[in-house]
Amino acid sequence: MKRKKAKADNLTKRREKWYVRVYYRQNGKNKEKLIPLRTSSKVTARARALEVRKVEPDIKQGIEFDFPWLTKEVRTKVRPFSIQDAVNQWIAKREGKLAKKTIGMNKEGLNYFLKFIGDAHPLETITTEQVESFTDWLDNRGLSKTTINIHLRTLKTMFRYYDKIDKLNKVPHIVQLSVPKTEPIYITDNEFQAIIELDWLDDFYKRVFLFYRETGMRLNEPMMSLLNGNWIDIPNTSKSKVGRNIELDKSMQSIFNELKEWLNTGYGSTLKTPDDHISKMFKKSLRCIGADERKHFHSLRHTFAVRRLILGTSIYDLKLLMGHSSVITTEVYSNMNLKRVAQDFPTIVSSFINEEKNGKTNTLITNTTTLPMTYMS
| 371 has pLDDT over 50 | no
Angstrom distance (rounded) from CA 177 to CA 171:
18
Give the residue with greater pLDDT, 336 vs 129: 129
Asked whether 187 and 294 are in contact (CB, 8 A), the reply is: no
CATH 1.10.443.10 intervals, the chain:
189-376
Q: How many helices (H) and strands (E) does the chain have?
A: 16, 7
Query: In angstroms, how far is CA 314 from the centroid of its own chain?
Result: 29
Q: Where does the pLDDT of residue 373 fall: very low under 50, low under 70, confident under 90, or very high at 90 and above?
A: very low
| 144 has pLDDT over 50 | yes
Whole-number pLDDT of residue 350: 53
Lowest model confidence (mean pLDDT) among 5-19, 94-108, 237-251, 334-348: 5-19
Instruction: Give the mean pLDDT of the chain.
Output: 83
Angstrom distance (rounded) from CA 275 to CA 143:
26
Asked whether 222 and 259 are in contact (CB, 8 A), the reply is: yes
Whole-number pLDDT of residue 239: 65
Whole-number pLDDT of residue 63: 67
Strand ranges in 267-321 using DSSP code E only, listed in sequence order: none
Strand ranges in the chain using DSSP code E only, listed in sequence order: 4-6, 11-14, 17-26, 29-36, 226-228, 231-234, 244-247
Whole-number pLDDT of residue 372: 38
Instruction: Tell me which fold the domain 83-164 belongs to.
Output: DNA polymerase; domain 1 (1.10.150)
Report pLDDT digits (tens) over 241-293. 677 889 999 999 999 999 999 999 999 999 988 999 999 999 999 999 999 99
Report pLDDT digits (tens) over 310-339. 888 999 999 999 988 888 888 888 888 888
Range 163-176 average pLDDT: 84
Instruction: Tell me which fold the domain 189-376 belongs to.
Output: hpI Integrase; Chain A (1.10.443)
Q: Where does the pLDDT of residue 14 fall: very low under 50, low under 70, confident under 90, or very high at 90 and above?
A: confident
Lowest model confidence (mean pLDDT) among 42-46, 226-230, 275-279: 42-46
Rg (CA), the chain: 30
Range 139-145 average pLDDT: 90
| 71 has pLDDT over 80 | no
Give the residue with greater pLDDT, 357 vs 126: 126
Q: Where does the pLDDT of residue 147 fall: very low under 50, low under 70, confident under 90, or very high at 90 and above?
A: very high
Angstrom distance (rounded) from CA 294 to CA 373:
31
Q: Where does the pLDDT of residue 211 fall: very low under 50, low under 70, confident under 90, or very high at 90 and above?
A: very high
Q: How many residues does the chain have?
A: 377
Which among 261, 258, 226 is positioned nearest to 245, based on CA atoms?
226
Angstrom distance (rounded) from CA 104 to CA 91:
10
CATH 1.10.150.130 intervals, the chain:
83-164
Asked whether 193 and 151 are in contact (CB, 8 A), the reply is: no
Range 286-310 average pLDDT: 94
Range 337-359 average pLDDT: 69
Give the residue with greater pLDDT, 220 vs 78: 220
Report pLDDT digits (tens) over 180-191. 777 899 999 999
Q: Longest C-alpha distance within the chain, in Å?
A: 104
Give the residue with greater pLDDT, 361 vs 141: 141
Lowest model confidence (mean pLDDT) among 66-75, 84-93, 258-267, 279-288: 66-75
